[in-house]
């Protein structure tokens, strides 16, 4: 008989963690933060949609995969409550791309939610084809999202051709979401990137949708870092990844951000997937086969040697990477290093690439070889 969790029984450690989550959420987000935190805690006490231990090669405790679904529900609740109370009017769709700004993330989130609830029910090929179809339609009906202003020799010519521009943009979107999904391992890593990204988008555009996403992702980051018992899952990685890539394309097309600044902001998932593909290809392995040899896996190995708590080691891994990647973009933005529309940020992105390779090499020292890990 399947063991049923008692949602009313907490260990002393659980109570300390929950108390810390509640205090931080109240300080930063008020009453709404407390309500969301209680919802997140309730999800961790359920016995369905659990993520297996060690699935990502980092976590050593079982966790709920419904964090992404909770973030999206909270985001929609914030939007509807704001409209209902006439705090703001959200009448042109998310990110200014009208209905596709809603359809894309919600369709991708629904695809991921099926996988979260029934793990391995959908084959990787089916998910890949479905996401390709989703973005194929979105880019076809919103051709202004094709980054034709991207000033890269050779690539700009291809993007100017409607058919190839559509094809390359769809491939980029699908690839980016898979990169985001790969980063959903260490506590605070993916939610930290999302929180910083949506925060900068909000500060630059004053768009309420970004404020709602910033709030939901920020609350989830606090809970994820402290408890480690709730992850974004595929619904979060797919849905929020779609929101992030569509936002980036739209804000670039509007001239609000340069491609180089967005590259700095989203450096980790972009660099990590490229390195992973190259690494697997050069070793004669399938580029689609998951493994536990990403930079966050390597760094976590060393953090586990320094900290007795596996949750603390996992969270330290996420915080360290976010601080070194998206955190640099946030510091540069707040410090007004350069205009976010300028191309000087390419210097920072180049430095991030070099730093990634150095960290990847050094973190591989004295670490046992890993085998491909499904998940």
The pair of three-digit structure tokens given for residue 151, joined into one six-digit string? 């000033």
Distances (CA, A) of 106 to 111, 134, 232: 9, 10, 14
49-54 average pLDDT score: 56
**Confidence (pLDDT) at 262:** 96
* Residue (of 256, 265, 141) closest to 206 by Cα position: 256
The runs of H, that is alpha helices, within 206-258 are 208-227, 233-253
**Confidence (pLDDT) at 86:** 60
Contact partners, residue 226, CB within 8 Å, separation at least 6: 17, 20, 21, 24, 315
User: Would you kindly state where each structural domain of the chain is located, as residue ranges?
Assistant: 12-363
Angle formed at CA 197 by CA 191 and CA 198, multiple of 5 degrees:
90
110 vs 29 pLDDT, higher one:
110
Q: Given a cut of 70, is residue 191 above it in pLDDT?
A: yes
**Residue for token digits 């990169």?**
179
Please give the share of the chain, as a percent, with pLDDT higher than 90.
39
Round to whole Å and give the CA distance between 164 and 204: 31
196-214 tens-digit pLDDT: 999 999 999 888 889 899 9
**Confidence (pLDDT) at 373:** 43
* Residue (of 59, 101, 350, 46) closest to 246 by Cα position: 101
**Confidence (pLDDT) at 204:** 92
315 vs 97 pLDDT, higher one:
315
Q: How confident is the model at residue 186 (pLDDT cuts 50, 70, 90)?
A: low
Q: What is the DSSP string of 22-41?
A: HHHHHHHHHHHHHHHHHHHH
* Residue (of 296, 205, 305) closest to 251 by Cα position: 205
Number of H helices, E strands in the chain: 15, 2
Q: Given a cut of 50, is residue 3 above it in pLDDT?
A: no
Comparing 48-52, 266-270, 339-343, the range with the smallest average pLDDT is 48-52
Q: How confident is the model at residue 309 (pLDDT cuts 50, 70, 90)?
A: confident
Round to whole Å and give the CA distance between 339 and 341: 5
The pair of three-digit structure tokens given for residue 244, joined into one six-digit string? 């992030």
**Confidence (pLDDT) at 78:** 85
Q: What is the DSSP string of 304-315?
A: HHH-S-HHHHHH
Q: What is the DSSP string of 272-297?
A: HHHHHHHHHHHTT--TTS--S-SHHH
Round to whole Å and give the CA distance between 287 and 175: 12
């Amino acid at each position: 008989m399947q063991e049923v969790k008692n949602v009313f029984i907490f260990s002393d450690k659980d109570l300390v963690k929950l108390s810390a989550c509640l205090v931080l959420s109240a300080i930063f987000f008020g009453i709404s933060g407390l309500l969301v935190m209680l919802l997140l805690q309730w999800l961790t006490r359920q016995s369905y949609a659990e993520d297996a231990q060690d699935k990502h090669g980092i976590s050593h405790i079982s966790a709920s995969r419904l964090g992404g679904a909770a973030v999206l529900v909270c985001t929609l609740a914030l939007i509807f409550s704001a409209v209902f109370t006439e705090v703001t009017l959200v009448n042109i769709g998310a990110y200014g791309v009208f209905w596709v700004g809603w359809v894309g993330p919600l369709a991708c989130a629904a695809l991921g939610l099926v996988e979260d609830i029934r793990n391995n029910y959908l084959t990787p090929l089916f998910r890949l084809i479905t996401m390709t179809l989703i973005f194929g339609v979105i880019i076809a009906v919103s051709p202004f999202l094709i980054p034709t202003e991207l000033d890269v020799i050779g690539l700009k010519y291809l993007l100017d051709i409607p058919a190839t521009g559509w094809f390359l943009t769809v491939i980029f979107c699908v690839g980016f979401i898979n990169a985001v999904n790969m980063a959903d391992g260490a506590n605070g890593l993916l939610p930290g990137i999302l929180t910083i990204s949506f925060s900068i988008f909000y500060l630059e555009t004053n768009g309420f949708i970004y404020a709602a996403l910033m709030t939901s992702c920020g609350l989830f980051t606090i809970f994820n870092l402290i408890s480690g018992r709730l992850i974004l899952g595929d619904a979060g990685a797919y849905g929020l990844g779609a929101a992030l890539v569509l936002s980036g394309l739209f804000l670039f097309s509007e001239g609000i951000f340069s491609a180089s600044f967005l590259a700095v902001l989203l450096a980790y998932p972009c660099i990590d997937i490229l390195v992973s593909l190259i690494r697997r290809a050069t070793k004669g392995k399938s580029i689609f086969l998951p493994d536990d040899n990403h930079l966050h896996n390597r760094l976590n190995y060393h953090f586990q040697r320094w900290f007795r708590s596996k949750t603390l080691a996992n969270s330290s891994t996420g915080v360290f990477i976010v601080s070194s990647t998206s955190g640099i973009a946030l510091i540069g933005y707040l410090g007004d290093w350069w205009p976010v529309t300028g191309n000087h940020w390419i210097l920072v992105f180049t430095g991030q690439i070099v730093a990634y390779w150095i960290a990847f090499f050094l973190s591989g020292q004295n670490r046992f070889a890993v085998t491909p890990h499904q998940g």
